[in-house]
Amino acid sequence: MKLFTKYNRVNITATIFTFVLGSIAFYFVLDYVLTRQLKETLRSEQFEIIHYVEEHHTLPEIQNTRHQWITVERSSEVLPRPKFKNSNFYNEKEKENESIKQLLFSINVAGQNYLITVNKSEAETEDLLKLIILVTVGMIALILLFNYLINRNLINRLWQPFYKTIDEIKEYHVSNRQPLQLSKEPIDELDLLNESLNKMTQSIYKDYAALKSFTENASHEMQTPLAVIRSRIDLLLQQSELKEQSLQQILSIEDAAQRLSKLHQSLLLLTKIENKQFLLNESVNIKKIILEKIREREDLIESKQLKIETNCTDLTLFFHQHLAEILFNNLLNNSIKYTPVNGLIHIELTESFVSFSNDAMNGPLEEGRVFQRFYKPSDSGEGTGLGLAIIKEICHLAGFDIVYTFTGHQHIFKIRFNN
């Protein structure tokens, strides 16, 4: 729900509720005031009559109007005090029932007791009340309408810079090599938002740059000693007086150094992928890469007498060339490594997925752990244990799904592109 819709909903409900309550209260107050006024009129009529009787000792001549009239009747009954009464009266002229208010009081004129009733129609009061209520309701409706229109236009306009900011954040990626630069806004809150975002991305960018240079420097610091080891070994091998046993030892040192170097490169790559230091903005021909990688490994495949079947459609994806190469390198390396001599590797590439299946040497891999770092099945030999983890991370970065299954004594790795 939009903030504006939510705000409007609450605002309009509250406004209507307030206005209804207010109107009810207003109605009762008005009713009370008007009734009191009516009574006041009746009472002043009473006083006038009493006054007249005291002065002239006779009843005044009575002038009735349409809304106010007086009836006089002889009565033996004496009201101790004046009494108000509500009653109905049928107005023949207007052909409707009108409610009237009556004031009854007794008066003695020359020994004769009279009961005088002053009647006043409430029609006028009711009309007035109706009118006032009508005007009030009309006003409420108008206020609500204007409120809504103003809110809609004004708030939409006020929020415009906010949406602009959101758009810029959406476009922003920390590897774009600069912090966000949002403009100054005349509205304090939005300006505060922009300023805070600018500051935040600045610090994020600084951290990112620090992390990036750390991983790169760490790589430098690690690879340099490894380069020393390797170069020294190359020199050692040139010494003709070395015994075979010494040579073997030197070579196992070299192997270890090489593995260390590969391991470190793999970890560095994983870190870089996790830091999203690769932008997937190149169009990459997947089929070309797969066929190329197979061609590079012809000797390897031949020496194991593997059979490779490929069924590839032309497919170009928005991807990263280097990452795509690593991805298919690792998939192919695994397939070749874990297929028994004379085994079969089947590679299928369609518009929506790519799958690598190969004959298995042993049973299935543990499905839950196969993509974990340093997961090594017992027959894995001396791999880094990071190949599949890297595959998984690359797929994750690109939004692909990768699934491992084991069917028909074959390992199957299937990647869905979700395009």
Is residue 235 close enough to count as binding other proteins by CB under 8 A? yes
Of residues 164 and 232, the one with the C-beta less far from other proteins: 232
Is residue 331 close enough to count as binding other proteins by CB under 8 A? no
- Determine which residue in the list 49, 118, 257, 331 makes contact with other proteins, applying CB under 8 A: 257
Of residues 67 and 337, the one with the C-beta less far from other proteins: 337
Site for other proteins in 40-79 (CB under 8 A): none
Q: Which residues of 168-192 are buried (b: 16+ CB within 10 A; e: fewer)?
A: beeebebeeeebbebeebeeeebee
Query: C-beta of 234: minimal distance to other proteins in Å?
Result: 4
Q: Is the dihedral of CA 28, 34, 38, 43 positive or negative?
A: positive
x/- mask, other proteins, residues 185-214, rule CB under 8 A, reads ------------------------------
Is residue 376 close enough to count as binding other proteins by CB under 8 A? no
- Determine which residue in the list 73, 171, 188, 382 makes contact with other proteins, applying CB under 8 A: 382
Query: C-beta of 293: minimal distance to other proteins in Å?
Result: 9
Site for other proteins in 303-322 (CB under 8 A): 303-304, 322
Interface stretch with other proteins, choices 38-46, 75-83, 332-340, 346-354 (CB under 8 A): 332-340
**Token pair for 140:** 């409420």
- Determine which residue in the list 8, 219, 271, 275 makes contact with other proteins, applying CB under 8 A: 219
Residue 371 is classified by DSSP as T
Is residue 292 close enough to count as binding other proteins by CB under 8 A? no
Query: C-beta of 303: minimal distance to other proteins in Å?
Result: 4
Query: C-beta of 184: minimal distance to other proteins in Å?
Result: 34
Kindly report the CA angle at 146 between 143 and 147, in degrees rounded to 5? Answer: 80
Strands 353-359, 410-416: pairing is antiparallel
Contacts of 85 (CB under 8 A, 6+ apart): 101, 102, 103, 104
CA pair distance 77, 82, nearest whole angstrom: 13
Of residues 164 and 304, the one with the C-beta less far from other proteins: 304
**Token pair for 414:** 């299937």
Count other C-beta atoms under 10 Å from residue 104's C-beta.
Answer: 18
Cα–chain center distance at 124 = 57
Residue 70 is classified by DSSP as E
**Token pair for 129:** 């009340």
**Token pair for 282:** 């190149």
Count of residues that bind other proteins according to CB under 8 A? 49
> If you count them, how many residues does the chain have?
419
Is residue 248 close enough to count as binding other proteins by CB under 8 A? yes
Q: Give the largest Cα separation in the chain, rounded.
A: 161
Query: C-beta of 272: minimal distance to other proteins in Å?
Result: 9
Query: C-beta of 13: minimal distance to other proteins in Å?
Result: 58
Residue 175 is classified by DSSP as G
Query: C-beta of 216: minimal distance to other proteins in Å?
Result: 5
Residue with tokens 């190469």: 325
**Token pair for 117:** 């009733």
Query: C-beta of 415: minimal distance to other proteins in Å?
Result: 19
The residues binding other proteins (CB under 8 A) are 216, 219-224, 226-235, 237-238, 244, 247-248, 251, 254-255, 257-259, 261-262, 265, 268, 296-297, 299-300, 302-304, 322, 325-326, 329, 333, 336-337, 381-383
